[in-house]
Amino acid sequence: MTEILKLEHLEKSFGDHVVLRDINLSVSKGEVISVIGSSGSGKSTMLRCINLLEEPTGGRIIFEGNDISDKKNNVTSYRARVGMVFQQADDQLFMPTVEEDVAFGPSNMRLEPEEIRRRVTEALDAVGALHLRGASPFRLSGGQKKRVAIATVLSMEPSVLVMDEPTSNLDPRARRQIIDLIRRFGHTTLIATHDMEMVLDLCDRTIVMKQGRIVADGSTRHVFGDLALLEECGLEQPCEL
């Protein structure tokens, strides 16, 4: 498979507090990978470094063969290609209407109005929210907000989706809708999550983190079959295994 993203010896510290330690990861095009670990293991920080919302302290990020850590590269362009969906949809929605929120990214890319309208329509249609385009994002349900937040990223036409807890705080029906959407997209996707049933349902490959390090990387069923590993990392085997 073609490698699309690679992390080499990635490090991240906040002052004296080391959050990520020597992270090495290769992601192939089309993979859907879960990143699991107890709270504070470094999952979200790793995703934010991948998207460059946090600047790594050390190491390199290679995207499609280019060293993104190099300051000469266009960070804005890179973030359009590697789109992040935040854990809290409210952190991603801030415009008066859904349509304006989804158009915000493409508008900042200075695309033609016709191209922006096309992208907004296709992104909202992809998440089943076309009927919400004129609604206020602040009046939506949790599941609707999550779908619109995903649409704001899809409108940038990314190659990679980076998702932080996409099913958190959703009712069972909304959770299932989000899982079905992710399965249908076909993007290369990295998902940080505590939802072990979703991981088993959606991801062929799972990465386990502990204290800022990757301690396991393999097939999801193999990882979940290692009870000693799960116990060591404060994780539980999904009920459906």
Instruction: Encode pLDDT of 2-12 as tens digits.
Output: 999 999 999 99
| For residue 73, pLDDT beyond 70 | no
**pLDDT at residue number 16:** 93
Give the residues across from 206 on adjacent strands.
Answer: 34, 218
**pLDDT at residue number 35:** 98
Q: What backbone phi and psi angles, to 5 degrees, belong to 190?
A: -115, 130
Residue with tokens 């699309």: 4
Of 77 and 220, the structure prediction assigns the larger pLDDT to 220
Q: What is the pTM of this model?
A: 0.93
**Beta strand residue intervals within the chain, DSSP E:** 3-14, 17-28, 32-36, 58-63, 66-67, 82-85, 160-164, 188-192, 205-210, 213-219
Residue with tokens 């193999």: 222
Instruction: Encode pLDDT of 225-240 as tens digits.
Output: 999 999 999 999 998 7
DSSP one-letter code for 61: E
User: Which sign, positive or negative, has the C-alpha torsion 205, 176, 165, 160?
Assistant: positive
**pLDDT at residue number 72:** 57
**pLDDT at residue number 199:** 97
Overall size of the chain counted in residues? 241
3-state secondary structure of 38: coil
- The encoded tokens of residue 27 equal 């992601």
Q: What is the mean pLDDT of residues 198-227?
A: 97
**pLDDT at residue number 1:** 75
- Is 124 in contact with 111 (CB distance < 8 Å)? no
Q: What is the mean pLDDT of residues 189-214?
A: 97
Instruction: Encode pLDDT of 95-106 as tens digits.
Output: 999 999 999 999
- What is the CA angle 122-126-132, rounded to 5? 80
**pLDDT at residue number 71:** 60
Q: What is the mean pLDDT of the chain?
A: 94
| 113: number of Cβ within 10 Å | 10
Dihedral through CA 54, CA 55, CA 58, CA 63, nearest 10? 90
**pLDDT at residue number 187:** 93
**Beta strand residue intervals within 48-102, DSSP E:** 58-63, 66-67, 82-85
- The encoded tokens of residue 240 equal 């459906």
What CA–CA distance (Å, rounded) separates 94 from 114?
Answer: 23
What CA–CA distance (Å, rounded) separates 116 from 202?
Answer: 31
**pLDDT at residue number 186:** 87
